[in-house]
Amino acid sequence: MSSPALVDSHCHLDFPDFADEIDAVVARARAAGVARMVTICTRLREEPRVRAIAEAHEGLFYAAGTHPMHAAEEPLATVGELVALAEHPRFVGIGETGLDYHYTAESASVQQDSLLVHIEAARRTGLPLIIHARDADADIGRILEHEHRAGGFSCVMHCFTSGRALAETALSLGFYLSISGIATFRSAGDLRAIFADAPLDRILVETDSPYLAPQPHRGKRNEPAFVADTARFAAAIWDLEPEDFAARTSANFDRLFARAAA
């Protein structure tokens, strides 16, 4: 019997790191047991290119939004634009959006405006919101709580590396946490402890490739095939066999990203 297929719930196959190599990258992912991938557009003007990648490969889906680090450089997205993009059958999520005060704290106000637009688009489409959070836990927790009370939406905290308080807020709202290669780093003990206390039915797994390659690939370009390494490592956090972890996280993905369900 074949092993359960993995999902890379967040990668960036349109980035220059994969230029002229996408077919080979997808083939390596398939060989590693990764059946589905969501490639993420971070600037709306690049959506046609990301869409074309998804259309060209079975099992590839895409999402689009304005990354918070680009929010001050790009025109503010409109709810109508995002809703229109969501009509495509391979379009499965809104974002990534969120707040990043690590490098771009000076644009906090416009990042928050952009986040609110994406939240409303998630409400109107019923598609999950994809959140990037870095050094902005208090603001993002406050906004997500307030907005969820005003009208529900589903959400994944992608590449979760924030603190326990934001994890608890997200989980209390019914959101999901996504585990990336960072959790395999020796220095990530506190992060692993947060995941260990989270319910397994709220966990996804991702690469965020080309960034954040897991052990034993740390320092190399990341790619979707390496989600298998993160998944093997993460399975031990919940004391599971890798096959069980793959099956559980794939079921979680299907529940959240219903449009991409197998």
The domain spans of the chain are 6-260
What does the pLDDT look like over 157-182, one tens digit per residue?
A: 999 999 999 999 999 999 999 999 99
| pLDDT at res. 1 | 39
Confidence of residue 202 (pLDDT cuts 50, 70, 90): very high
Neighbouring C-beta atoms of residue 60, cutoff 10 Å: 23
Look at the domain 6-260 and name its fold.
TIM Barrel (3.20.20)
Query: Residue 64: its pLDDT value, please?
Result: 98
Check whether 219 has a pLDDT greater than 90. Answer: no
Q: What is the mean pLDDT of residues 123-133?
A: 98
- Compute CA 65 distance to the chain's CA centroid, rounded to the nearest angstrom: 12
Taking 70 as the threshold, does the pLDDT of residue 7 lie above it?
yes
The stretch 213-230 carries a mean pLDDT of 94
Q: How far apart are CA 254 and CA 165, in angstroms?
A: 26
Mean pLDDT of 204-208: 98
Helices (H), the chain: 22-31, 47-55, 79-85, 108-125, 137-150, 164-172, 189-196, 227-237, 242-256
User: pLDDT digits over 33-63, tens only?
Assistant: 999 999 999 999 999 999 999 999 999 999 9
- Cis amide leading into 216 (omega within 30): yes
Q: What is the pLDDT of residue 3?
A: 64
Question: Greater confidence, 20 or 71?
Answer: 71
- pTM of the entire structure? 0.96
pLDDT value at 2 more than 70 = no
Confidence of residue 110 (pLDDT cuts 50, 70, 90): very high
